[in-house]
């Protein structure tokens, strides 16, 4: 029986991979949006599992915030993924190849030109989706953007070197979605280590944006 389960699992993974690659060729934008939106939603669910279920003491655990998961999936799949899709197509068209100088130029442009407006848009849009005022959204951007950019640079420079050097152009957004999943959970763990372990404090705002994490609870500075 175990052998059959392993064989069926391998067959399922192989089939899923084949379908995904075919879809990325036939419907690249739609497929990227589906994958990226799913990964950002799962990343938010994963960090909630860490912050609300695993890291707190049993008496301090909180229920899942599925509305927040839906917001992340929506922002990831419908807002940030199309931007990343077009952005990487443009970079690969203007700076083709994987030479060291080309990779360095792409990484620098990604960090300098894309990251600041992307992170700022994330905080603005997430706050507005939560029903906050424009003024509140702007204040959160001013408060969190500098720290977010420092962390983003440290995390994404090596990740984007790998992306532009070794990942095929059609898989770039998928690779970034996987990195975002890792980033969200690192942020959740670091955030928990820096705050009081009380139930209220565990309901934190972490940093994100297609690249940054922020749950819908009251904000706690990094």
User: 111 in a domain, yes or no?
Assistant: yes
Mean pLDDT, the chain, rounded, equals 81
The residue segments making up the domain with residue 134 are 28-193
Give how many domains the chain has, as a whole number.
1
User: 144 in a domain, yes or no?
Assistant: yes
- Write down the pLDDT at residue 3: 63
User: 208 in a domain, yes or no?
Assistant: no
Q: Assess whether pLDDT exceeds 70 at residue 147.
A: yes
User: 210 in a domain, yes or no?
Assistant: no
- SS3 of the chain: the string is CHHHHHHHHHHHHHHHHHHHHHHHHHCHHHHHHHHHHHHHHHHHHHHHHHHHHHCCCHHHCCCCCHHHHHHHHHHHHHHHHHHHHHHHHHHHHHCCCCCHHHHHHHHHHHHHHHHHHHHHHHHHHHHHHCCCCHHHHHHHHHHHHHHHHHHHHHHHHHHHHHHHHHCCHHHHHHHHHHHHHHHHHHHHHHHHHCCCCCCCCCCCCCCCCCCCCCCCCCCCCC
User: 87 in a domain, yes or no?
Assistant: yes
What is the value of pTM for the model shown? 0.77
User: 178 in a domain, yes or no?
Assistant: yes
User: 198 in a domain, yes or no?
Assistant: no
Indicate the pLDDT class of residue 14, thresholds 50, 70 and 90: low
């Amino acid at each position: 029986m175990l052998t059959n389960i392993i064989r069926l699992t391998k067959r399922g993974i192989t089939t899923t991979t084949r379908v995904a690659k075919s879809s990325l060729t036939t419907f690249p934008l739609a497929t990227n949006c589906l994958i990226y939106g799913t990964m950002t939603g799962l990343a938010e669910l994963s960090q909630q599992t860490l912050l609300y279920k695993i890291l707190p003491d049993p008496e301090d655990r909180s229920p899942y915030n599925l509305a927040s998961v839906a917001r992340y999936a929506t922002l990831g799949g419908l807002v940030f993924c199309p931007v990343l899709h077009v952005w990487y197509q443009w970079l690969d068209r203007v700076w083709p190849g994987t030479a060291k100088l080309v990779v360095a130029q792409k990484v620098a442009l990604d960090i300098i030109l894309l990251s600041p407006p992307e992170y700022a848009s994330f905080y603005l849009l997430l706050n507005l989706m939560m029903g906050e005022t424009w003024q509140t959204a702007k204040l959160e951007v001013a408060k969190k953007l500098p720290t977010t950019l420092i962390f983003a640079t440290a995390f994404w420079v090596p990740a984007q070197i790998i992306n532009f050097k070794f990942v095929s152009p059609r898989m770039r957004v998928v690779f970034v979605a996987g990195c975002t999943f890792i980033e969200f959970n690192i942020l959740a763990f670091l955030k928990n280590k820096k705050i009081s372990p009380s139930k209220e404090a565990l309901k934190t705002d972490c940093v994100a944006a297609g690249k940054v994490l922020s749950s819908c609870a009251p904000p706690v500075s990094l």
